């Protein structure tokens, strides 16, 4: 093409060759949308996008699919990546070890990578970023956090001029579905997990979702981006929702709260002005008038507070083939444009290198549910225990109990995790405490 007719803005730039690794729910939607909207994507990218191959572990399983009809299926991902006509590798396999090998191989071969793999990015961001930097290529992962919701790009680019103070999000649809259903029906965790499984929200093995591991990977990615500091999933304190009872939900409701599994990333400052960061995932009481309390069913939402921007909320579909494909395709266009026009997307930014706070030092508010002996003086005894650990009480409610027992529900002012943990240990041994039923953290005013 001569310089006079070359017009990459009209999609007439060089072709971007693409390898798709994985052909499950996401990979198949990515291919379908790329084929159906090829002209649009050529214009948006500056040159045509051409899929060179789709790597799967077993070609037989995909007979009759679009990838098969187009003659794209291969079971040799390693060779596909290395082809000279592949510029960009899209990883939608899932898991960690095998995709890690493939993604590193792609980056080291000078191919940009788009991945939807939160576990991979959260566990191995350092070596992936280093490989991308050394080869001068892009590593995009918008789909790794909350699928279709643009939050990685906004944190990486749009908020690069601001100081993010906190990120708090519902980043797991399965657990949000379960907790929301418990809240609206009053049913138990087990029953609503069964319902989530029946409706296809929960996987056959729901461990990664219900134990909070999936959300912890996303929290690590969000904290890294927000605070310009490398945070891995191992740095994230993680508790799941399996112990949340119908009574916890009902007690929260009675006090004007709902319970959500939140990923919370905070910038902290100690009395001497030293900054640190904390990332945690745990069930949390959220006031019913808080925007995150109104995120229902399997929707996700991420609430960001930044110094200059103030409060921002990102809301939408955080899972599923099409929503995830939307984010992957956005990244493909971004990485493709850089191949056509030159240049790179912003890479990993870890210059701030803030220390990860000791979890015991993280300040939080707590809701403590106890069954106590219903005798005169019990409240005085218990409030003394809180006071002895320097914890100030905000509210104390008593539920109707049996003739001899009462259920006490205590909300604290902000206290350190370590002080609260010590308080709970003392409470468990107190003569008037029959049982500490639950301790759940809280957010909001």
Which residue ranges are tagged as binding site for L-homoserine? 203
Which residues between 241 and 270 bind ligand HSE (CB under 6 A)? none
Q: How far is the CB of 225 from ligand HSE (least distance, A)?
A: 17
Which residues between 314 and 333 bind ligand HSE (CB under 6 A)? 318-319
User: Of 172 and 229, which CB lies nearer to ligand HSE in the complex structure?
Assistant: 172
Q: How far is the CB of 124 from ligand HSE (least distance, A)?
A: 17
Q: Are strands 88-91 and 16-21 parallel, antiparallel or unpaired?
A: parallel
Annotated binding site for NADP(+): 21-28
Q: Taking Cα atoms as reference points, which of 63, 64, 70 lies closest to residue 18?
A: 70
Q: How far is the CB of 91 from ligand HSE (least distance, A)?
A: 15
d(CA 442, CA 47): 50
Residue 399 CB burial class (10 angstroms; 0-12, 13-18, ≥19) = middle
Annotated binding site: 21-28, 118, 203
CA pseudo-torsion sign 142, 144, 113, 325: negative
DSSP symbols for 373-433? E--TTHHHHHHHHHHHTTPPEEEEEEE---SSEEEEEEEE-SEEHHHHHHHHHHHHHSTTE
Q: How far is the CB of 171 from ligand HSE (least distance, A)?
A: 7
User: Do residues 260 and 176 touch, judged by C-beta distance below 8 A?
Assistant: yes
User: Do residues 338 and 345 touch, judged by C-beta distance below 8 A?
Assistant: yes
For this structure, is 218 an active site residue?
A: yes
Q: Taking Cα atoms as reference points, which of 23, 14, 9 lies closest to residue 328?
A: 23
Maximum Cα interatomic distance, the chain, rounded to a whole number of Å: 93
Q: Taking Cα atoms as reference points, which of 137, 36, 37 lies closest to residue 88?
A: 137
- Neighbour tally for 297: CB within 10 Å: 12
Residue partners of 31: CB distance under 8 A and separation at least 6? 20, 23, 51, 54, 66, 67, 72
Angle at 373 between CA 369 and CA 375, to 5 degrees: 125
Q: Which one of the listed residues 218, 260, 339, 416 is annotated catalytic?
A: 218
Residue 169: phi, psi to the nearest 5?
A: -145, 155
Q: How far is the CB of 57 from ligand HSE (least distance, A)?
A: 20
d(CA 382, CA 182): 30
User: Of 72 and 123, which CB lies nearer to ligand HSE in the complex structure?
Assistant: 123
Q: How far is the CB of 323 from ligand HSE (least distance, A)?
A: 10
Contact call for residue 219 and ligand HSE (CB under 6 A): no
User: Of 138 and 214, which CB lies nearer to ligand HSE in the complex structure?
Assistant: 214
Which residues between 157 and 196 bind ligand HSE (CB under 6 A)? 172-174
User: Do residues 115 and 102 touch, judged by C-beta distance below 8 A?
Assistant: no
d(CA 179, CA 135): 44
Single residue of 214, 235, 417, 419 touching ligand HSE by CB under 6 A: 214
d(CA 56, CA 79): 12
Q: How far is the CB of 208 from ligand HSE (least distance, A)?
A: 7
Contact call for residue 209 and ligand HSE (CB under 6 A): yes
User: Of 22 and 318, which CB lies nearer to ligand HSE in the complex structure?
Assistant: 318
User: Of 173 and 212, which CB lies nearer to ligand HSE in the complex structure?
Assistant: 173
- Return the SS3 of 49: strand
User: Do residues 225 and 155 touch, judged by C-beta distance below 8 A?
Assistant: yes
Q: How far is the CB of 347 from ligand HSE (least distance, A)?
A: 23
Residues in contact with ligand HSE by the rule CB under 6 A = 172-174, 209, 214, 318-319
Active site residues: 218
């Amino acid at each position: 093409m001569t310089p006079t007719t070359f017009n990459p803005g009209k999609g007439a730039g060089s072709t971007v060759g693409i390898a798709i690794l994985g052909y499950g729910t996401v990979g198949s939607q990515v291919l379908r949308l790329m084929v159906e909207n090829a002209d649009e994507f050529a214009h948006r990218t500056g040159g045509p996008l051409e899929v060179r191959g789709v790597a799967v572990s077993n070609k037989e399983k995909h007979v009759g699919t679009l990838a098969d009809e187009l003659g794209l299926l291969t079971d040799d991902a390693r060779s596909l990546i290395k082809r000279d006509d592949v510029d960009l590798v899209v990883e939608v396999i899932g898991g960690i070890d095998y995709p890690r090998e493939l993604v590193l191989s792609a980056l080291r071969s000078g191919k940009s990578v788009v991945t939807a793999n939160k576990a991979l990015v959260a566990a191995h961001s350092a070596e992936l970023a280093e490989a991308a930097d050394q080869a001068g290529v892009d590593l995009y992962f918008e789909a790794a956090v909350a699928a279709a919701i643009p939050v990685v790009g906004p944190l990486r680019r749009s908020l690069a001029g601001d100081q993010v103070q906190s990120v708090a999000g519902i980043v797991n649809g399965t657990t949000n579905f379960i907790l929301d259903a418990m809240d609206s029906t009053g049913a138990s965790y087990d029953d609503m997990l069964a319902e989530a499984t029946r409706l296809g929200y929960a996987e056959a093995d729901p461990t990664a979702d219900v134990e909070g591991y999936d959300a912890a990977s996303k929290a690590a990615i969000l904290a890294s981006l927000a605070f310009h500091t490398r945070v891995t999933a191992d740095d994230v304190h993680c508790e799941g929702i399996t112990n949340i009872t119908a009574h916890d939900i009902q007690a929260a409701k009675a006090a004007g709260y709902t319970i959500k599994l939140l990923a919370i990333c905070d910038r902290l400052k100690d009395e001497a002005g030293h900054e640190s960061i904390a990332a945690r995932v745990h069930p949390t009481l959220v006031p019913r008038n808080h925007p995150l309390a109104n995120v229902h069913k399997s929707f996700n939402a991420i609430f960001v507070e930044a110094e200059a921007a103030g409060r921002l909320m990102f809301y939408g579909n955080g899972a599923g083939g099409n929503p995830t494909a939307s984010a992957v395709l956005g990244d493909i266009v971004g990485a493709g444009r850089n191949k056509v026009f030159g240049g790179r997307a912003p890479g990993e930014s870890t210059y701030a290198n803030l220390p990860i706070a000791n979890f015991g030092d993280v300040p939080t508010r707590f809701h403590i549910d106890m069954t106590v002996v219903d005798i005169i003086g019990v409240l005085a005894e218990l409030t003394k225990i809180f006071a002895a650990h320097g914890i100030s009480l905000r509210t104390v409610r008593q539920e109707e109990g049996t003739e001899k027992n009462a259920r006490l529900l205590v909300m604290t002012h902000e206290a350190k995790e370590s002080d609260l943990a010590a308080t709970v240990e003392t409470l468990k041994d107190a003569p008037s405490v029959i049982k500490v039923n639950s301790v759940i953290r809280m957010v909001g005013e």
